Amino acid sequence: MTSRSRSPRLRPLLLTATLTTTLALALAATGCGTEPAPDTRAAGPSGSADPAPDRAELEARASAAQLVAEHVWVTEAAGYALARQSVGVLGDDGFGSVYTEPEGGQIKLSVERLPHADADCTDGPASGSEQEPLVTCERDGEQWYRATESGHAYAREQGDLVVTLSGTRQEVDRATLRSAALAAHRADDYELDQVLPPAGETAGRQPVERGDLPPVGDGAPNNDVGASG
């Protein structure tokens, strides 16, 4: 989250000359200290004045991590930060990450090519899904909110992708989850630079173990997702 520093308060001074000098210095320094540290940059569109990261390098880093750069999304929520080690591929070319907070709460972000029913819960459960029965299913603005006894999620369609923010009801309240869902957006080049593994980090590694593949046989990926993702 972007932190905002407060302008220094001026204490009353007895001497007019001293007050004038101090005020001038304070005004000159007003712009100082307001730049957020690089590691605390908010997940919103960066709008940075720094030179843009090299796009070809970003594409190469995404490819090395088995990701499609255009499918990388980011979000923000009060008290939560991206767990960078959670960044990975979902399905064939989807994207997933987890945002955590100090008390252990987790918000999962997933971006996948899924049927319409996986976003619009009013159409009924997605084909082949085996999830808890829904206790809530409603439209909330441009998104759908669904909840089971244990988990809940916000989902929306973006072209042929479904973007989902999910968590357990015990750890993440609806207001926080909704805030994260509204803030979610496709990462710009600056955000990609922060999210993607550094160049060379994946060199020499074995292929990523796909958690969506069945443990035996040669079946298709299992992309079933409950309300909590």
Query: 12-26, 40-54, 178-192: which range is least confident on average?
Result: 12-26
pLDDT score of 130 = 55
Q: Among 11-15, 63-67, 190-194, where is mean pLDDT lowest? A: 11-15
Cβ atoms 227, 132 nearer than 8 A? yes
How many other C-beta atoms are found inside a 10 Å radius of the C-beta of residue 52? Answer: 12
Q: What is the rounded (10 degree) CA torsion for 53, 71, 99, 194?
A: -10
Top-confidence residue, 175 or 204 = 175
pLDDT class of 76 with cuts at 50, 70, 90:
very high
Q: pLDDT at residue 114 above 80?
A: yes
Q: What's the whole-model pTM score?
A: 0.67
* CATH number where 100 lies: 3.30.200.100
- Residue 144 near residue 150 (C-beta atoms within 8 A): no
Alpha-carbon span 16 to 28, nearest angstrom: 18
Using a pLDDT cut of 90, give the percent of the chain over it.
55
Q: Is residue 156 part of a domain?
A: yes
Higher pLDDT, 227 or 118: 118
Does residue 57 form part of some domain?
no
Q: Structural domain of residue 130, as residue ranges?
A: 71-189
Q: Does any domain span residue 1?
A: no
Q: Tell me phi and psi for residue 94, to 5 degrees.
A: -85, 180
In a domain, 35, yes or no: no
CB neighbourhood size of 173 (10 A): 13
CB-neighbour burial class of residue 225 (10 A; exposed 0-12, middle 13-18, buried 19+):
buried
215 assigned to some structural domain: no
State the average pLDDT over residues 191-204: 80
> Per the domain annotation, does 137 fall within a domain?
yes
Mean pLDDT of 94-118: 95
In a domain, 212, yes or no: no
Assess whether pLDDT exceeds 60 at residue 21. Answer: no
pLDDT at 81: 98
Lowest-confidence pick of 61-75, 106-120, 184-198:
106-120
Tell whether 154 is covered by a domain. yes
Model pLDDT, residue 228 = 55
Identify which has the larger pLDDT, 181 or 42: 181
Number of domains in the chain: 1
The pLDDT value given to residue 18: 42
